[in-house]
Chain A
Amino acid sequence: EGHLVESGGGLVKPGGSLRLSCAASGFNFRTYTMNWVRQAPGKGLEWVSSISATSRDISYADSVKGRFTISRDNAKNSLYLQMDSLRAEDTAVYYCARVGVPLAVAGNFDFWGQGTLVTVSS
């Protein structure tokens, strides 16, 4: 069964940068589309970004476009989110999540990590 573990969260000042990582195990990472989803404190879920298995298809929410960059290293079974020009409204728990069908670009999110908290504050 698949397992996802996020890391890299923390406290950062407005305008700063942070790089999140998501380590995958227990499944053939290189055949699955991966996503980042975030949840601000006490709020609902917001999809942030998606990257297909080969990195050919990449998408972003408008709220992060131009500031965040998603990437993956299939040799290291790892997913990343480079977050630049951070704002207070980016404060959230960030989850990585797997699309449940191999090679599908879209679908259900069947595995989720435990999340990593990013706090943007001066």
Chain B
Amino acid sequence: DIQMTQSPSSLSASVGDRVTITCQASQDISYYLNWYQQKPGKAPKLLIYDASNLETGAPSRFSGSGSGTDFTFTISSLQPEDIATYYCQQYENLPYTFGQGTKLEIK
């Protein structure tokens, strides 16, 4: 199975800060990497697909980059409504696997 390692596991930042989360795959997954946001008690929501494509309707402050084994998710200017847990997910190989999540809090 492909292991997805996210860091950090938790993050505290101030409104307006630039926030970066990384995700490393245990083997080359090309660009087959998605990012999801999950708020407490809610279903995950797709934000970025295929490493760098912004999902329709997602705010433009969210972005993604990377390919191969190393990926980055960025919030350019943190907003209060961005408080959530963020997950990366690979779909290059079955079983599809998720990172362990990054819990984002407001400082």
Contact = CB atoms under 8 A, between A and B. Distances in A.
Q: Does B bind A? A: yes
Interface of A: 35, 37, 44-47, 50, 59, 61-62, 95, 97, 100, 106-110, 112-115
A102 to B, nearest CB: 15
B87 A115 contact: no
Nearest to B100: A44
Range for the number of chain B residues in contact with chain A: 20 to 34
Interface of B: 32, 34, 36, 38, 42-46, 49-50, 55, 87, 89, 91, 94-101
B87 A100 contact: no
Given A44-B87, A114-B43, A108 B49 contact: yes
Contact of A109 (B34, B42, B100): B34
Contacts of B32: 106
